[in-house]
Structure 1
Amino acid sequence: MTALGLGTVHEQDVPQALSDAERQIAQDAADSVGTSINASARAVRRSAASATPAGSSKPAAVLRSLLPTGHPAAGGVLLDPRTGKPLAASGEKVPLTGVDVKDLARPDTGNIAPRVVGSGSGAPRLLLFARVSVPVAGRKQDEDQDQAGDLRGDQDAESRGLLFVASEKVAAPAVYGPGRTGQLVDRNGKVCASAPTTGAALTAATDHRALPAAAANAAQTGVHTGDVSGSVLGDGHHGLRRVTGWASVAAADGKDDASGLGLTVLTAREVPPAKAGGDHMWFALMAAGALVVIAVLVTLVLWGTMQRPLLRLHLSAARLAKGVGDTPGERAELARPVPVDGFDEPGRVGRALESIRRQLLGETGPEPVQPVRRRPGVRALVLVCALVIAAWGVPLLFLFNRVPAAKAVPAAAVADQRARTEAAADRVQRCLGRSRSDLAAAASALSGAPPERAAEVLRREHDDHPTFRSLYVLDRTGAVVRQEGQQPLRTLVPPTGDGITQVNTSGKIPAIAAYARIPAARNAKGAKKAGGTAPAVVVAEIGVDELNDLVTRPGLGKVWLTDEHHRVLAASVGFEAFEPLPSRRLTRLVAKTDAAPGSAGNPASAVLHAGTAPGEGLSVAAAVPLALKGPAAGLGWRVVSAEPAAALKLAVYQVQARTMLAGLLALSAGGACLGWLYIVVVGPLRTLTGCAERLAGGDRRTVLFPVHHDECGSVTRSLELLRQALVERDRGGGRAYVASDPAPSFQRGSAP
Structure 2
Amino acid sequence: MPMLGGVRPPIAALLCGLLAVSALTALGLGTVHEQDVPQALSDAERQIAQDAADSVGTSINASARSVRRSAASATPAGSSKPATVLRSLLPTGHPAAGGVLLDPRTGKPLAASGEKVPLTGVDAKDLARPDTGNIAPRVVASGTGAPRMLLFARVSVPVADRKQDENQDQAGDLRGDQDAEERGLLFVVSEKVAAPAVYGAGRTGQLVDRNGKVCASAPTTGAALAAATGHRALPAAAANAANTSVHTGDVSGSVLGDGRHGLRRVTGWASVVSEDGKDDASGLGLTVLTAREVPPAKAGADHMWFALVAAGALVVIAVLVTLALWGTMQRPLLRLHLSAARLARGVGEVPERRAELARPVPVLGFGEPGRAGRALESIRRQLLGETGPEPAQEVRRRPGVRALVLVCALVIAAWGVPLLFLLNRVPAAKAVPAAAVADQQARTEAAADRVQRSLGGSRTDLAAAASALSGASRERAAEVLRRERADHPMFRSLYVLDRTGALVQQVGKQPVRPLVPPIGGGITQVNTSGKIPAIAAYARIPAPGKAKGARKAEDTAPAVVVAEIGVDVLDDLVSRPGLGSVWLTDERHRVLAASAGFEAFQSLPSRRLTRLVAKTDAAPGGAGKSASAVLHAGTSPGEGLSVAAAAPLAQKGPAAGLGWRVVSAEPAAALKLAAYQVQARTMLAGLLALTAGGACLGWLHIVVVRPLRTLTGCAERLAAGDRRTVLFPVHHDECGSVTRSLELLRQALVERDRGAGADLAAVPAPSFQCDSAP
Category of TM-score, reference length = shorter chain: over 0.9
In structure 2, the residue matched to 1:128 is: 151
Q: Give yes or no for the alignment of 1:239 onto 2:262.
A: yes
Q: Distance in 1 between matches of 2:540 and 2:637?
A: 51
Question: Retained in 2: the 8 A contact 1:229–1:248?
Answer: yes
The change in CA–CA distance for 1:156 and 1:310 in structure 2 (over 3 A counts) is closer
SS in 1 for 2:311: helix
What is the TM-score of this pair, normalised by structure 1? 0.95
Q: Distance in 2 between matches of 1:631 and 1:691?
A: 88
Match of 1:718 among 737, 741, 749: 741
* Structure 2 counterparts to residues 257-272 of structure 1, below 5 A: 257-272=280-295
Q: Give yes or no for the alignment of 1:584 onto 2:599.
A: no
Q: Distance in 1 between matches of 2:149 and 2:550?
A: 41
Question: Retained in 2: the 8 A contact 1:443–1:538?
Answer: yes
Higher mean Cα deviation, 150-159 or 447-456? 150-159
The change in CA–CA distance for 1:149 and 1:610 in structure 2 (over 3 A counts) is same
Question: Retained in 1: the 8 A contact 2:499–2:557?
Answer: yes
Q: Distance in 2 between matches of 1:335 and 1:686?
A: 27
Question: Retained in 1: the 8 A contact 2:80–2:165?
Answer: no
Question: Retained in 2: the 8 A contact 1:174–1:182?
Answer: yes
In structure 1, the residue matched to 2:240 is: 217
Shift of 1:61: 1.4
Q: Distance in 2 between matches of 1:461 and 1:542?
A: 13
SS in 2 for 1:418: helix
Shift of 1:58: 1.9
Q: Distance in 1 between matches of 2:506 and 2:68?
A: 24
Q: Deviations over 1:534-570 (max 9, x none)?
A: 1000000000000000000000000000000000000
Question: Retained in 2: the 8 A contact 1:137–1:152?
Answer: no
Higher mean Cα deviation, 448-457 or 667-676? 667-676
* Structure 2 counterparts to residues 12-91 of structure 1, below 5 A: 12-91=35-114
Q: Give yes or no for the alignment of 1:367 onto 2:390.
A: yes
Question: Retained in 1: the 8 A contact 2:130–2:183?
Answer: no
Question: Retained in 1: the 8 A contact 2:162–2:174?
Answer: no
Shift of 1:298: 0.2
Q: Give yes or no for the alignment of 1:299 onto 2:325.
A: no
Question: Retained in 2: the 8 A contact 1:334–1:357?
Answer: yes
Q: Deviations over 1:493-546 (max 9, x none)?
A: 111111000000000000000000000012444753313221000000000000
Name the aligned partner's letter for residue 251 of structure 2: V
Shift of 1:706: 1.3
Q: Give yes or no for the alignment of 1:679 onto 2:702.
A: yes
Name the aligned partner's letter for residue 362 of structure 1: G
In structure 1, the residue matched to 2:639 is: 616
In structure 2, the residue matched to 1:693 is: 716
The change in CA–CA distance for 1:524 and 1:623 in structure 2 (over 3 A counts) is farther
Q: Distance in 2 between matches of 1:191 and 1:327?
A: 102
Name the aligned partner's letter for residue 398 of structure 2: R
Q: Distance in 2 between matches of 1:320 and 1:87?
A: 117
Shift of 1:148: 6.1
Q: Deviations over 1:8-42 (max 9, x none)?
A: 01000000000000000000000000000000000
In structure 2, the residue matched to 1:575 is: 598
Name the aligned partner's letter for residue 226 of structure 1: G
Question: Retained in 2: the 8 A contact 1:180–1:201?
Answer: no
SS in 2 for 1:533: coil
Question: Retained in 1: the 8 A contact 2:207–2:289?
Answer: yes
Higher mean Cα deviation, 126-135 or 515-524? 515-524
* Structure 2 counterparts to residues 458-469 of structure 1, below 5 A: 458-469=481-492
Shift of 1:225: 2.1
In structure 1, the residue matched to 2:15 is: none
Match of 2:627 among 581, 597, 604: 604
* Structure 2 counterparts to residues 307-456 of structure 1, below 5 A: 307-456=330-479
Q: Deviations over 1:148-207 (max 9, x none)?
A: 623233669976610000111001000000110000001111100001237995453342
Q: Distance in 2 between matches of 1:701 and 1:528?
A: 116
In structure 1, the residue matched to 2:16 is: none
In structure 1, the residue matched to 2:588 is: 565
Match of 1:275 among 298, 314, 318: 298
Name the aligned partner's letter for residue 266 of structure 1: L
Q: Deviations over 1:409-458 (max 9, x none)?
A: 00000000000000000000000000100000000000000011000000
Higher mean Cα deviation, 478-487 or 53-62? 53-62
Q: Deviations over 1:354-413 (max 9, x none)?
A: 221122122332223333534321111001001100111111111111100000000000
Q: Distance in 2 between matches of 1:692 and 1:172?
A: 89
In structure 2, the residue matched to 1:731 is: 754
Question: Retained in 1: the 8 A contact 2:100–2:189?
Answer: yes
Match of 1:670 among 693, 710, 728: 693
Higher mean Cα deviation, 288-297 or 680-689? 680-689
Question: Retained in 2: the 8 A contact 1:136–1:157?
Answer: no
Question: Retained in 2: the 8 A contact 1:146–1:153?
Answer: no
The change in CA–CA distance for 1:200 and 1:352 in structure 2 (over 3 A counts) is farther
SS in 2 for 1:463: helix
Name the aligned partner's letter for residue 592 of structure 2: L
Q: Give yes or no for the alignment of 1:475 onto 2:503.
A: no
Q: Distance in 2 between matches of 1:213 and 1:156?
A: 48
Q: Distance in 2 between matches of 1:51 and 1:397?
A: 69
In structure 2, the residue matched to 1:187 is: 210
Q: Percent of counterpart pairs with the same letter? A: 89
In structure 2, the residue matched to 1:750 is: none
Q: Distance in 2 between matches of 1:183 and 1:83?
A: 38
Shift of 1:598: 4.2
Higher mean Cα deviation, 675-684 or 439-448? 675-684
Higher mean Cα deviation, 317-326 or 124-133? 317-326
Q: Give yes or no for the alignment of 1:653 onto 2:676.
A: yes
C-alpha RMSD of matched pairs (Å): 1.8
Q: Distance in 2 between matches of 1:456 and 1:269?
A: 49
Q: Distance in 2 between matches of 1:664 and 1:252?
A: 39
Number of equivalenced pairs = 736
Q: Distance in 2 between matches of 1:157 and 1:8?
A: 72
Q: Distance in 2 between matches of 1:534 and 1:296?
A: 91
The change in CA–CA distance for 1:202 and 1:259 in structure 2 (over 3 A counts) is closer
In structure 2, the residue matched to 1:745 is: none
Q: Distance in 1 between matches of 2:550 and 2:331?
A: 106
The change in CA–CA distance for 1:156 and 1:199 in structure 2 (over 3 A counts) is closer
Shift of 1:336: 2.3
SS in 2 for 1:454: helix
The change in CA–CA distance for 1:140 and 1:162 in structure 2 (over 3 A counts) is closer
Q: Give yes or no for the alignment of 1:553 onto 2:576.
A: yes
Name the aligned partner's letter for residue 342 of structure 2: R
Match of 1:486 among 486, 506, 509: 509
Match of 2:523 among 500, 503, 506: 500
Q: Distance in 2 between matches of 1:471 and 1:321?
A: 94
Shift of 1:330: 2.1
Shift of 1:3: 0.7
> Is there any run of 5+ residues in structure 2 with no aligned partner, and where?
1-23, 760-774
SS in 2 for 1:134: coil
Q: Distance in 2 between matches of 1:373 and 1:481?
A: 95
Q: Distance in 2 between matches of 1:612 and 1:278?
A: 32
Q: Distance in 2 between matches of 1:556 and 1:252?
A: 20
In structure 2, the residue matched to 1:100 is: 123
Q: Distance in 2 between matches of 1:138 and 1:676?
A: 92
Name the aligned partner's letter for residue 517 of structure 1: R
What is the TM-score of this pair, normalised by structure 2? 0.93
Shift of 1:242: 0.3
Q: Distance in 1 between matches of 2:161 and 2:657?
A: 54
> Is there any run of 5+ residues in structure 1 with no aligned partner, and where?
737-752
Q: Distance in 1 between matches of 2:219 and 2:327?
A: 76
In structure 1, the residue matched to 2:5 is: none
Q: Give yes or no for the alignment of 1:287 onto 2:310.
A: yes
In structure 2, the residue matched to 1:747 is: none
